[in-house]
Structure 1
Amino acid sequence: MTVQEAVVAEPVPPPGQPPRRALETALRTAGLVISVLAALFSGLLELFLTPLRLGGVWVGAAAIPVAVAANLALAWFAVTTVGRRWALGPPWVAWTVLMLLATGFRRTEGDHLVDARNWVALATVLAGSLAFAVYAYRMILRWPPAPPR
């Protein structure tokens, strides 16, 4: 074996251990699945916090900060665990689809989960989606510049 072949050859894993690439793929896939499930859980939590009232007044401080903080954390988690920038998309889509379904879903009483008269619910949907958008924009700004020619 020449020196050049030794440099190019990948190390062989010891017997009984899975290949490193398969383990990395499994971890990245698990990270993506966890981020999507966490986005759905976060959206449900925020939907339950939107009708919260204190003395008959909507409490916007309950759902809106939770939406922003959770979605920023979810975006970071997805991009970090998967290692690709596109990983921001699936949790963003899952969260947004859940919120869109909640706006069109009527309960048995006849009211919507996200009602147009509930400013907290509308602000939560806007702020939560903007949190993903801001994270995506920050990733675009950090994009490495093209190498000089």
Structure 2
Amino acid sequence: MTLPAVPVSTLPEQPPTAATPSPAERALDRALRVAGGVVTVWAGVLLALLELIFATWAWNIVQGLSGVPQALVGIGAVAVGVAAVVASTVLLGSYARRSTGGRWAIVLAALPWFVVIVAGGVRTVEGDLALVGDNVLGLALIVAGAITFAVVGFRQLVTPPPVR
């Protein structure tokens, strides 16, 4: 006794095709991606400036104290500063990828950040210096920011793009 055969299709099912966007929709999408890239660059500059200001301000406070209060305030400033740098860098990386749609978008925030940080370590004509060699807090913030940018960039390059 044999059972009747069930017809089986040999071709895989094709997903429904999406309607192609109009030229106006493509132009709007491109303009929004460019605007997102510009905002990402300026956010990278702003993030670096805020880190330099915080590092200099907090280090001056720590230097004005002595003994146990100096140690406690220094540890607190490092803990708060590093946590803020890591969180803001991760958020900036996420914004960069979502706003531009590119996996390489973290570079738009990281490059200006590095330029501003390097500029903070160069003495001006007047003799001012934002990051001095004994500013341990500033060095901790630089290391935390650089490592976080590297990790966020690596994760964005390795993970596959979302299905649209």
Per the TM superposition, whether the score is higher than 0.5 is yes
TM-score by length of 1: 0.77
Q: Of 104, 114, 117, which residue of structure 1 is paired with 2:131? A: 114
1:25 aligns with 2:30: yes
Match for residue 47 of structure 2 among 39, 42, 46: 42
Distance 1:60 1:106 in 2: 26
Selected match of 1:105 from 123, 144, 162: 123
Measured in 2, the distance between the counterparts of 1:8 and 1:50 equals 51
- Describe the SS at the equivalent of 1:75: helix
Do residues 88 (structure 1) and 106 (structure 2) align?
A: yes
- 5+ long unaligned stretches in structure 1: 1-6, 13-17, 145-149
Matches within 5 A, 1:45-84: 45-51=50-56, 52=58, 53-54=61-62, 56=65, 57=70, 58=74, 59-84=77-102
**CA distances 1:11-66 after superposition (whole Å, capped 9, x unpaired):** 65xxxxx7000000010001010011111111111111102125623322343222
Gapped regions of structure 2 (runs ≥ 5): 1-16
TM-score normalised per structure 2? 0.71
C-alpha distance in structure 2 between counterparts of 1:25 and 1:90, whole Å? 16
Aligned structure 1 segments of 4 or more residues deviating by more than 3 angstroms: 7-12, 105-108
Question: Number of paired residues?
Answer: 132
What whole-Å deviation, never above 9, does each CA across 1:105-130 have from its counterpart, x for those lacking one?
3373x342111100110111111111
- In 2, the alpha carbon distance for the partners of 1:11 and 1:133 equals 35
Q: Which has the larger radius of gyration?
A: 2
Q: Structure 1's 9 and 116: CA in aligned 2 closer, same or farther, altered over 3 A? A: closer
C-alpha RMSD of matched pairs (Å): 2.4
Rounded Cα–Cα distance in structure 2 between residues aligned with 1:141 and 1:128: 20
CA deviations 1:53-105 (Å, max 9, x no partner) are 25623322343222211111111101111111111112100101100111113
- The answer to whether the 8 A contact 1:75-1:88 is kept is yes
